[in-house]
Every structure is written in C-alpha cells, then in structure tokens.
Structure 1
Amino acid sequence: MGTVSRRRGIAPFLGLCVLAGILVAGALAPVAIGAGVLSNQVSDSVDSISADLVHAEPPLVTTVTDRSGGTIATLYAQYRIPVTPAQISPAMKAAIVDIEDRRFYSEGGVDPQGMLRAAVHNSSGGNLQGASTLTQQYVKNYLVNVVDRNDKAAQQRDQEDSLARKLREAKIAVQLSQTVSKDDILADYLNVVEYTGTVYGVGAAAQAYFGTTADKLTVPQAALLAGMVNNPNVYNPYTHPDKALQRRNLVIDSMVSARSIPASYGATAKATPLGLSGSRPQAPSSTCLGAAPDAGFFCAYAVRYLVQSGLTADQIDTGGYTVKTTMDPHVSQVTKDAVNANVPTAQDGVANTFAIVQPGSDGHQVLAMVANRNYGTDPDQGETSTNIVADASNKFGAGSSFKIFTSAAAMVTGKAGLNTPLTNPFSDCFNPPDMNRYTHCYPVSNDGTSYPNPISLSAGLATSPNVAFVGLEAQVGMPAVLDMARKLGLRNTMATNDAGSKPITDPSDARSKNPQYNEPQSQYFQNLLSFTLGNSPVSPLEMANVSATLMSGGMWCPPDPILSVTDRHGQPVSLHQQACEQVIPPGVANTLEAGLSQDTTVGTSARAAQSAGWTHPDIGKTGTTQESESVAFVGGVDHYAVSSMVFADGPHPQEICPGTPVHLGDCGHGAFGGTVAAPPYFTAMNQLLAGQPDVPIPPPDPAYLDAHA
C-alpha cells in the first residue's frame, strides 16, 4: 500500500517540477514534456482564447427604461457592475492580492517558485492545488463564467485536475501578462469572479452585500469579499456566517502579514461585525417580474419584441444593452390607477386590461400596457405571469367591437357605406357560407326591440344591433371580414386557435383532431357568422392597435415598444422590424372614424360619458359577450388609441356584474362595455387631456357614404 501511495504522488510532483522548469526556462510549450497527446490538448485554442481574454466582454446587465430614461427593469444572467482599476478601493486590491497571490505584481503570469512549493506539498498524492497565480485564476474564471457559461461539460474541463489544464492555463496567463497591465488584469479578475447566486464581480458584490460601491469598500468588507472567491458557497456570509467570518479574519491577518495594514488596524477590523445588507444579497430582479406594477406587462412585451426583431434571449440577458422603450411613465401610471379603481388588483376572477397605442403613419408606439393584475407569480396577490395585455388572453372575446371589421370590409368591397340601410328585424336566422343538409342556420336576435328596421350603418355602429351586422357580414363574406380583422391589427390573434393558443398539431393530443384547437381563427371562422359578434379570443393590445390603424388613415404598423437599443459601448443596435402597410384607403379609415364618433355622444357608452363629464370628440365601439363574461371599449381620442377590456380570468368564469367594485356574480342583467369597460377610459383620458385643445375627428369621405358594389 505504501508503494502504491508513493507512486500516486510521484506523477503530480514530477509534472509540476517539469512545468516549473519549463516556465523558468521560458520554453512555454508543452512539447518539452514529450507527450504528443498532451501537447495537442494544450495547444488547442490557446491563442484564440488569449485573444478573447485581451478583449474580454463578460456578461453584463441589460437595462430597460421608459421613454424618459427611468429604469423599469434589469435583465441578466449574471448580475455584474463592471469597474475600472480606479473604481476599486485600495483595500480590495490589497485584500485579494495578499490572500491569493502576494507576488502578483512581480511575476510574469505564472509563479514557478509557487509551483515548486505546491509540487512538494502535493507529492504525497494530493490534488494539484495551490500554485495558481491571480492571472491564472482569471483565465480559469473567464473560461468558466464567460466562454463556457452555457456548457456544463466544458466548464468541468476548465476546472479538471489535470496537467494539461494547468499547462494551458499557464501559457495563456503568460501571454496575458505580456500584453495587459497588472492593474487591468486585477480589475478583470475582480470583474469576472463569481460570488453567490447570480452575483458576479466586485462591483455587484459591493452593492449586493453592503449597499456600496467598489471604490468605497472598507478593509473588513474587502476582506470578506476577497475571502469568498476561494469558495463562494462555503464562505457565503448569509448561509455560513461563522465560516465567512473566520475566512474574512484570515484575509485580514494576511493583509497585516503583507504589511498592507498595521496590526492595530487589523485587530480593529477583525472585531467589526459582517455588516451585511438585509438577510440575503440585495441584487435587483433579473427579469420583468421585478418591474413596477404599471410596467411589468410592457417590459415582457418589449423583451418578446426584441427577440422577434433579431436579438436572442441570451444576448438580451448578457449583452449589457440599454433598451429605451416607448412607455410613457405618466400615461402608464394614470391608466394603471384607472383600472385599479375600476377592478381591484386581487379581485377574484376579474381582469381589467388597458392598452394605449400612439397612432402615426410611420409607426405605432405603445405608450402603456397595464391591468388591474400585476405581472408576477403570486395569484393570491392578484398577480399573473401571463401577459394578459399582449396575448390573446381575453378568451371570451371583445363582443360587438368586432363589428368594426365587418363595417370596414363592407366599405372596401362597396357593399355598404355609412348611409346604407341595413335590414334589422328583431331576430333572424342566417345560413353560413357552406351549407349542406346537416347544416343549421345561425339564429341571431337583438338585445331589445327599440332598434329601427332598417337601420343605417352609421346608427348601427352607435347602437350595435346584432341582426343588422350578422346580415351585413353574410353579405360581405367571411373571407373579406376575417382578412380585414388581420389587416387592421389582429395579426397574432388571428393566428391563434379558438382557445387563444397556438394551433395544436401534435397527433398525440386529442385536441389536434378538433378544428376549434387545430386551426387558426383565420381558418376556423370561415364558416361561422358569429365572428362579427366578437366571441373569440383576442389580444387587448392588438385591439388598441386596430384603433391606431384607423386613426393613422388606414396605415397599419406593428405596435412598437422600442425607441432605441444601444450596446455596452453606447453604439446603436439595429433591429429587424415589420414595415408599416397601407391596409385600407384613407377615405375608408376616415369614414369609419366618423361612424364611430357617435358612441360616446348618443351610442352605447353615452350615459357613462355623461356621468364622467366627457366632452372630447373621439371614436369608440363597445362590446359585450352573450353571457357578459367579457366587456370591452375600443376607441381613441387625440393621439391615444385605446382598448379597455374587463373579462373573467379565473378557473370558474361567471357573469361580470357592475358595481364598486366590478365583480363576478349572477346579476341577471350583467355588465356592458359602456357601463364597465368604458369608465376607466373616461377616467384616464380626462386626466391626460386636461387643458389640451380638442382634436376633431376627420370628416367622412363622400365616396364611402353609400354602397357602390
């Protein structure tokens, strides 16, 4: 047994002796060892890695701001605040050098003397330890935390106990020492090293552990951080405070021994408590879940938009970008207050979403995306991690606001104009486009008997009779109506199935055989005349963008949440974005706006408008589903295109009832778009438009007042 043990110790001893001899002689090539395989292992990628290290760009925090520059979220995989040599306190520099590598400023990247000492120490069979310089440690940490951070197998190779790894590390360290100053190497090391969790680098550690900056670290603070790098988990001061304290005091003793601080000061420093901030590292949230209540859904949408525009999720989490969004903090807070007043955040089973898009012929900037719900993971607090503003999350639909699409399609095809009389009996039964002997007609009735028959399209938009619009839809044809919905703004909505999700095509899923689940809405509703009554899942944000398209003279643009993106060096980053499209003639858009301008004066939201003291010229269309599980107001005023939707969002949906607050129940005659969804619009817009001159609605185009098909 003794012979075997001695033989096990001879290999690492001789290996380190040879390595030390090679380095002392300056022959920094592993061929001197005479092992061809080892030579290949060491030579692989050394030069390229050395070049990368000279220009090292470790993962940084991406900052998301509102349009005024205020931070709304930080996104990262590694929480790191990069610092220059001048931004690191002398105490921190001394602490790390004294405990890890006292000959750092005199050695050439490797320390042959230290290697020989380690070889002697390990000759009894121990692991190859204790010989790495700070430069070599920087190389290893850079490989583990930067180059191979997403490759577990490669990270293991970067840390394996092998002579090949040591040789490669040493060669790169020497190359670095020949091209990079000692101060920069030390700062690079302190910027890349891991502490605990997602905290990396001394800048982030100073903030997370002590609420300070790296240049202000005291001796006790610096000693704690310097001690942690040896083993961040073992010396975690939050989970192992006793071990962390012992390690910190050992570093202080090393500083005294190296004469970096006087012995008397060291004694005082060792008597100082750990002095941590809070009960855990105070690192900011790494996702949009940490955004303010009025910014979470906006932030999540902005990140999704960036990915769709060409950046990867990893680039966003590590690139150190500054993302300035279009979010208007004042508009966002005002609308958030309005929906919270209408439906409390934790109200059981009721969501109130609100989106505002700014119209424009060259872009549609998103100004606000809020809900009474907050973006988060605690349902008991009224939080949801689903983007209920951007997604087709209103499963019950936007009700009669979908009559906008039928009206626009009728004008474009010439089937009807604003003055066209529409047949409007109290009830009727309409044959769908594709009929066979098993097909039944679609029965429809109006909500009440006060509607005239016939009724003009203009009056119909204001008062919303169902029979007249289903009849018009049948006349125009489903393909034209569905295509109009997509063109005006429901791009993502129409691509989802009738459950608001991606169509299911997996044959192992029974739903893949059901058209309601396996077809997009653009296909599923080709033979269903109920579409114009808005009984299908819809995105609240996209409905706001429908209004923006009309208010932009028929110009559709993607709802854009991004003003600019700059990289870590302040250089602009280009994004691949969809181009705007003229989807309907300006005359149709203006005429439809004129038709929608009566909703708040004599139409379905007039009473709520009067109660709110509303006097501004605007456009609007309310919607209410058959069982009142969802109500909506879609419209716009001035440069605000808006959708406000109140819908059941819990596992047991019921009728939505008006009241203070709005609630679920069985109230017999439930909520309407005008009574429940419109009030937040009036509340918010009255505040935002206070003191502003009115912006008139464009006059109708005479070419679209009458049918001409």
Structure 2
Amino acid sequence: MKQGRLSAIPTVMSLLAAFLAVSVVGGFLGAGLLIPATAMMGTVVKSGTEVYEALPTEFTSVVPQQQSELLASDGKTVIATLYSENRIVVPLSAISPWMQKAQVSIEDHRFYEHGGVDIEGIGSAVAGAALGGTARGASTLTQQYVKVTLEKAALDRGDTKAAKAAKAVTASRKLQELKYAAQVEKEMTKEQILQNYLNLVYFGDQAYGVEAAARHYFRTTAAKLTIPQAATLAGVVQQPGANDPVKNPKAALTRRNVVLEAMHRYGYIDATQLKTAKASPLGVIKADPPKNSCAASSYPYWCNYVVNYLKTLPAFGTQPNEREGRIRRGGYRIVTTLDPDLQERAAESMGRIISPQDYPTFGAAATTIESNTGKIRAMVQSTSYSPTGKPEPGKTQVNWGADFRYGASGGFSVGSTMKLFAVIEALKQGKGESYVIPDIRPPGTPWYPRDFQNGCTTGAGAPWTPGNAEGDDPPPGADIGIATRNSINTAFVALAADIGTCNIRNTALAMGMHNSSRAAEDGSQDGKPLSTYPPTLLLGEDASPETMAQMYAIVANRGISCPNTPLESVTDSDGKKVDLQLPGCRRVLEEGIANQAAGIFQTVMTEGTGRPVQIGRPSIGKTGTDADNETWFVGATPQYSTAVWAGTPDQNNGSWGRMRLHSVDGNARYYPKAMGYLIPGPIWQGVMRAAHDGKPVVPFGQAAQPADDGGTVDIPDVRGMAVDEATTAIEGAGFQVTVGGRVASGYPRGTVARTRPTDRAPKGSAVTLRISTGVRSTPRAPTANRAAAPPAAPPAAPPAP
C-alpha cells in the first residue's frame, strides 16, 4: 500500500464514522448504499451513533468583532478606525447578489437544497480520501459557518486550545460540527446563515467579513461588487494567504476564474457573462490602510484622549481593559466634539509662535471648550506625535493639554491664573472690585505662618517673601480691581491673608479645580489633594489647560460648571444610541458673584495685562507666569473658553528667558523674557478669533452692584481736568489717587479722560485717573464673518505682569 493511502486512513475513518452516524440517525442509509456490511463497519456505525447522540446540541452564534469609528463633530471626518479585527457587519440586503452566488457556487452549490448536512458531499469526501486525495466537499457552507463560529468564540475568550480543536480533522469534531449544523438549519433561515458566514469569514490581508474586504481590495462596498470582484473574494476564503489578491495576484486570478466556472456550471451566470468576467483584469485597487490606532490618526493626541475618556465610562464595562476591548470590537459610531476647522486654525495660531523644532527645550498646548456645554472643540500642542513613545526631537506621546488620566501629563504651574479663586472668594465675602486690600507689604517683606488661616499656611521654616514679576509695586491703597488688572502678587498675598487661604481653597474645590497629577486609585478626580500651601494655592497649582479652560468658563457661563467632554454621541452596531450617563452641568457659583467676577476680569482685557491680545469683542482673561519656566493665558467669552500654556515641559532650568522660538515655517524670533501676554497670549488671541469667526457677540451676565464695603461715596467728576487739579479734587473727597495709562478720548491731550471706578467707591479706596490721548477713538465692531485681524507681533515693551 502506498504511503499516501496509509496517511489517509485516519481521515477516511473519521469521515466514514461521521457519514454512517449521521446517516443512521437521519434515516438516510438505504438498501442500495455501497458500503461493505462488515463487523468493523457495524462497530463504526454503533459507536458513531452513540457518540453523536451524546454530543451537545446548544450552539451559540457569536457577535462578530467589528471596527468602531471615531469621527469629528461634523460626523464625516474620520479621526480613527479602531478594531481588533477589521470588520464591518452588514445585512444580506447590503451584499451584492453576485457575491452570494459566487460563495455558494464555490463552497456549497447544494446549499439551498440540504438541511445543513450534505450526505452526497460526505460520501464524495470519503471516496476521495480513501483514494489518497483530499477530503474535499465534506463540509457544507452551514458546517463551515459552525466551524468558523466555534473557532472565533474560542479566540475571543483567549482559548487557543479550543480554537485549534475547532478545526481539527477528527471524528468527534466532525460529528459535533454536523450536529450543530443540523441545529443551525432548524433555527436560522438560509439567508441568515449566509449573512452571518459572509460577515464572519476571513478574506486575507487583515480584512474580515465581506464589507471590509470589498473596501480593502476594491475601494467599493459589498453591495456594489461586480461579478469578477465577487468571484475574486469568494475564491480567497478557502486559502486566504495563498489567494490574497494583493500579495499573490496570479494565484488570485486563477482562483477567481475557477469560481467563475462554478458560477456558470450551476447556472448563476451565462456564457457571455463568464467570458466577459474571465477577460477582465483582477482590478485590485487597494485602499489606504484604516487608521486602526491612534498613532495612525491625523489627530493622534485627540484620539488617545477620547479612548482614555471612554475607558472611564461604566457604560462600556466595569474595568478599563474591558471597556477598551468593547470599544475596539463593538462596532460603535463615536462622534466626538472636535471641530476640524477650529482644530486646524488653532494649530496654525500656535505654529506662528512655536513649533516642534523647539522641543524638547520648549513646548506649548491649548485647549478650547464651549463655555456653556463643556464640549472640547480644539486641543493642540506644539509637537508632533511619537508613534513609538521613545524620546525624539520634536515628538512626544504626552498630551500637555489634558489631565494625566487622559494624556499622561502632570500639568504645569498655572501662575497668576490661580488668582481667579481669590477674587471669587473675596466677592463671596461681600468685598467688591473697589475693596481696598489691607496690609499690602513691599516686595521681599516676610510673611509668616501666623499671617495665614490655620490649616492653609506656610511651613515652619523660613518665612515667605513674595515679589512681583514685573512693573511698579502697588500703592498702599490698591483695590481688588487694580490688583487683578495688573496681576500684583504682593496685593494678592495680602488679600489671601485677609479673606482666608483655606476659604480660597474651598472655593476652588467647589468649582472643580484639581491637580493634574496621576489619577488616584480610588477613582477620585485628582491624584493628590489641592495644595494648602499659600504660594502654590495663590500663584501656581499644577494643572492642565483643559482644567483652566473649564474654570474660566464657569465665570463666563454665569456660575454654571459644565464638565469637559469629548463626546457628542455614541451609537452601537445596531444604530441604538448608548446612554453614556455623563454628569450634567451644575451651578457652583451664585450668578451675581460670577457676573461680578466677569466684570473684574473684563478689565484685565481692556486695561490690564491682557490688553495686547483683545479679540474684538468682550472677553475675560488672565495672564500667568511662574518662576519655574511656565507661562499662561486663560480667557473666555460666554461662548468659548481657551487656556494656553507655554513653557519648558521636561525641565525647569531657568532657560525660559533669552530664548529663540521657531514658527512652523522656520522663522525664528528672539524673546528676552517669557511673559503670559507675550507667548501664550497671541496664541490664545488667534484661537479665540477663529472660534468666534462669524459668531454673534453674546454679552456677559449683568453684574450685581458691589456690596457696600465700608460706606461708598461719590467720586468727583474730574473729566477734562489737569492731573494735578483732578488729584486734589479726588483726594479732597477722601480717596487715594493713582495715575493709569492713556486712553483715546475727545478731552484735551494730557487731561483726565475718566476715572476707574467712575461713580462711587468706598471712602479711602484708590481711584485711578486715565489720561486722554486727545484723539477720540472710532470703535470698530467685529464683522459678521471675522473679527479684527491680530497685530503683526506682540508689543515690544510689556505692561505689568
């Protein structure tokens, strides 16, 4: 006996056992069946039948893994296509009839005639194997569906042993497959079986299911497959590697023509169609590979942010790994909040100031949210994304615009943007904009632990000796408005001592302010508590741009906080909207308090450190500069809030001065010193102008009248007076006088144009004189399409910090 015959014996016996068992059980054996009635065959029949009867009958279909799609807010721009298997499940009605006919022709031409088990096919397989050939024709398309399903279910649960057993050529496996096939035929229609099979099988080159294969090989859909295209795909299934149309086009073409012959043989195409199809080229137009990871996305930082955010949502499972698995396998349509146009223009604004060329020494990031929804509309930074995660010039995987849990950044010291919370706490205590801050000490004067509220004070070591970043020191009678507009550190230290440092911290916590460190194991919002140390609490908690954008949005949104979210909607593979159970907006400040704060921080933009970067409409804003090489500009309107950070992301070595930054077009600019208005400020201005392009002007809430802080009195009307004359008049009314900058007005040049405050103020408080330029300004309202153009470059001489 030849070796080929010897090696075929196990296959023959397993197929014969299956054949006899199914035939006996099914009542198919007839008198004319040409099988020797020997004792051995009788034993095979008996044992096969007993085994068959004892096999399980519960067959469970699997839900095929399919790709999830991340889209921008327009619902069209693809951010990424996430999957473990590249599959898109479609109904049979969305699969070309030619594809259905081609698959049936080459795999199981009696598919519509048998009940899941083809006795004739098994008989042919027995004969072929006995003669030393291959066991072809043994499996119906239904049996193949069962086999693929069992293998897929095993792989999904990580059981590689069971997956291998699902394909093993053994009598027991074959019997189980046959029994399951018979069950499937009872429970499903032929159309359902064919639909499930075509969505489940592998078509080579990482394309699973017919829809993904049609897109991958022909840049079309399963519904539009032509006769030759359908025949090509149907021919791949038997041996996906050998018949891959991309890697092995000659083999694929030969196999395609075999399928076409089968389609003609069984009456699915006529001779003319056969001739035309066989004469056509293979016609593979391989599509670009799907963006199946965030590293392949056009928006990699944003993609990672969204995936990390989804991993926190219980709607997708109980554990982060489980949630990510579902996201990559569940066929979700995830529409995110990213505005592609704003994202592009925000990147352009940043690229005019700083670029990947400046990293690893310098970097910048910006996050823009909708003030009244928390939806993140843009998130950009000055680097390129590093696919490997290894340190490279100009590249990093860390998303500086996000909290640690979403982007792996520990945040940066936010500098004077923290003064927001001290102002709000003062307002809550009834101390208005004109409240004169007591005990303002000269820079370098020590402050001791006893000067601050218990529980939120300095350490027992050396006293704290704060100074001011730049500009003139404040007059003794500086009020909250002056201190805020000019970002006077020493005034805010005195204010904090007056109103209570722990009270400031409690206000910040109530607004949702948190440190951007590693997420806590208990799932709380931050990894470590908000600082109780006055220097940090007042002048530099470590936070992310997304956090600071939310804090200033609260003020612009009249005291209502809307948690940041990157999601518009999520629908599952059946088109059903997923209930994400996201937290809603809630009031964290009284409206009157928020509106008063908005009034104060608007003057930062019109009279203070934010003046150089106004956007052509009312806005609030605040600069921030930290000695540890970080600068900020944060500001908002009732529509949008943007926070921009620029600094030294990986080191604090004093290099954030006398530096040269490069725009994306390669131009370099020298900066003698980094300030909030100078580097992040112009970026913020460009982003906010882009965000508001074509949007109507929305006013801030009407501020309530400030509380009577010790008896307000009328301020003399000194408009048009000389400075000396005006000073005498105002001091005579019991106020202190400071002289501010020049403003456009119709009063003679050098005279007083107006005062700040204008009407009433607490006796003893400071009144600022604004000096006229002698030229009346002509206000220019923003056009319907675009706000006024930004200045060519930041001013050479900075104002006070």
Tell me which residue corresponds to 1:211: 219
Cross-structure match for 1:348: 359
2:447 aligned to 415, 430, 436, which one?
430
Return the letter of the residue paired with 1:488: M
Q: Kindly indicate whether residue 689 of structure 2 is the aligned counterpart of residue 686 of structure 1.
A: yes
The partner residue of 1:490 within 503, 507, 513 is 513
Secondary structure, in 3 states, of the residue corresponding to 1:460?
helix
Give the unaligned 5+ runs of structure 1. Answer: 506-518
Distance 2:102 2:192 in 1: 16
Aligned-partner residue type, residue 318 of structure 1? R
Distance 2:223 2:633 in 1: 54
Aligned partners of 1:652, 1:437: CA distance in 2, in Å? 23
Cα deviation digits, residues 137-192 of structure 1 (max 9, x gap) = 11222333357424242423332333333222222222222343323322321111
Structure 2 equivalent of residue 617 of structure 1 = 618
CA drift of 1:600 comes to 1.5
Structure 2 match to 1:573: 578
Partner Cα separation in structure 1 for residue 186 and residue 264 of structure 2: 30
Query: Aligned partners of 2:304 and 2:54: how far apart in 1?
Result: 44
Q: Deviations over 1:12-69 (max 9, x none)?
A: 43332232233334549xx9854899569831xx4251xxx3xx64233333333433
* Superposition pairs of residues 162-561 of structure 1, within 5 angstroms: 162-258=170-266, 260-261=268-269, 266=274, 269-270=277-278, 272-278=280-286, 282-293=288-299, 296-310=300-314, 311=316, 312-344=323-355, 347-349=358-360, 350-360=362-372, 363-373=373-383, 377=387, 384-392=396-404, 393=409, 395-412=411-428, 419-422=435-438, 423-432=440-449, 439-448=461-470, 450-454=472-476, 455-474=478-497, 476-491=499-514, 493=515, 496=517, 501-502=518-519, 520-522=527-529, 525-527=531-533, 529-534=535-540, 536-561=541-566
Aligned-partner Cα distance in 1 for 2:459–2:479: 34
Corresponding residue for residue 594 of structure 1: 599
Whether the 8 Å contact between 1:145 and 1:193 is mirrored in structure 2 is no
In 1: Cα distance, 2:416 partner to 2:244 partner: 59
Shift of 1:224: 2.5
- Residue by residue over 1:338-375, the C-alpha shift from the partner in whole angstroms, topping out at 9 and shown as x without a partner, is 22333335543343322222233xx4332332334455
Distance 1:661 1:227, change over 3 A: same
* SS of residue in 1 equivalent to 2:617: coil
Residue 589 of structure 2 corresponds to residue 584 of structure 1: yes
> What do residues 619-645 of structure 1 show as CA deviations (whole Å, max 9, x unaligned)?
101112215x32211110231122122
Bigger fraction of residues in helix: 1
CA distance in 2, matches of 1:345, 1:437: 40
Question: What TM-score, normalized to structure 1?
Answer: 0.82
CA contact (8 A) 1:633 1:678 kept: yes
Aligned to 2:610, which of 605, 619, 623?
Answer: 605
Note the alpha carbon deviations across 1:576-634, whole angstroms, 9 max, x for none: 2224443233232222222211122111121343xxxx43211101112215x322111
- 2:398 maps to a residue whose letter is T
Query: Greater CA deviation, 176-185 or 119-128?
Result: 119-128
**Structure 1 residue identity aligned to 2:420:** I
Task: State the shift of 1:658 in Å.
Answer: 6.8
Checking the alignment, whether the CA contact within 8 Å between 1:555 and 1:583 is kept in structure 2 is yes
TM-score normalised over the length of structure 2:
0.74
Partner of 1:645: 645
Shift of 1:542: 1.3
Mapped contact 1:550–1:590 kept (Cα < 8 A)? yes
Residues 100-139 of structure 1: per-residue CA shift (max 9 Å, x gap) = 2222222211212222332343358999775111111112
Q: What is the CA–CA distance in structure 2 between the aligned matches of 1:185 and 1:437, rounded to whole Å?
A: 74
Shift in Å, 1:208 = 0.7
Which one is further off, 635-644 or 95-104? Answer: 95-104
In structure 1, C-alpha distance between the alignment counterparts of 2:335 and 2:228, rounded to whole Å: 39
1:288/1:300 contact within 8 Å kept: yes
Indicate the residue corresponding to 1:92 in structure 2.
99
Q: CA deviation at 1:418?
A: 5.3
| Separation (CA, whole Å) in 2 of partners of 1:40 and 1:690 | 74
Deviation of 1:308 (Å): 2.2
Mean alpha-carbon deviation: is it higher for 327-336 or for 633-642? 327-336
Report the secondary structure of 2:234's partner residue: helix
Task: Tell me the number of residue pairs that the alignment of Structure 1 and Structure 2 aligns.
Answer: 667
Residue by residue, what CA displacement relative to the aligned partner does 1:215-253 show, whole Å, maximum 9, x if unpaired? 332343223212221222333333334443443344344
Is the CA contact 1:430–1:471 (under 8 Å) kept in the aligned structure 2? no
Is the alpha carbon distance of 1:149 and 1:436 closer, same or farther for their aligned partners in structure 2, counting shifts above 3 Å?
Answer: closer
SS, match of residue 597 in structure 1: helix
What is the DSSP-based 3-state SS (H/G/I as helix, E as strand, rest coil) of the residue aligned with 2:466? strand
Residue type at the aligned position of 1:465: I
Which residue matches 1:113?
A: 120
Q: Which amino acid aligns with 2:379?
A: M
- Say whether residues 1:674 and 2:687 are aligned partners: no
Q: Contact (CA 8 Å) 2:155, 2:163: kept in 1 or not?
A: yes
C-alpha contact 2:128 2:136 (8 A) present in aligned 1: no
Rg (Cα) greater in structure: 2
* Rounded Cα–Cα distance in structure 1 between residues aligned with 2:308 and 2:192: 37
Partner of 1:104: 111
2:413 partner SS: coil
1:399/1:623 contact within 8 Å kept: yes
Distance in 2 (alpha carbons) for counterparts of 1:86 and 1:260:
18
**What is the alpha-carbon root mean square deviation over aligned residues?**
3.9
Does structure 1 retain, via aligned residues, the 8 Å contact 2:207–2:213? yes
Q: Secondary structure at the match of 1:601?
A: helix
Contact kept in structure 1, 2:634 and 2:642, CA below 8 Å: yes
- The equivalent of 1:661 in structure 2 is 663
The more displaced of 647-656 and 96-105 is 647-656
Contact 2:14 2:174 in 1 (8 A): no
User: Could you tell me whether the CA contact under 8 Å between 2:15 and 2:174 is conserved in 1?
Assistant: no
- Which range moves more in the overlay, 656-665 or 415-424? 656-665
Q: Secondary structure at the match of 1:600?
A: helix
1:193: how far off? 0.9
Unmatched 5+ stretches in structure 2: 28-43, 317-322, 712-801
Shift of 1:424: 4.2
Residues 33, 468 of structure 1: alpha-carbon distance in 2 compared, 3 angstrom cutoff: farther
Deviates more, 1:434-443 or 1:584-593: 434-443
Could you tell me whether the CA contact under 8 Å between 1:224 and 1:248 is conserved in 2? yes
Find the counterpart in structure 1 of residue 167 from structure 2. Answer: 159
- 1:219 and 1:436 map into 2 onto residues whose CA distance is 80
Give the whole-Å Cα distance in 2 for the aligned partners of 1:309 and 1:587: 34
Which amino acid in the other structure matches residue 623 of structure 1? G
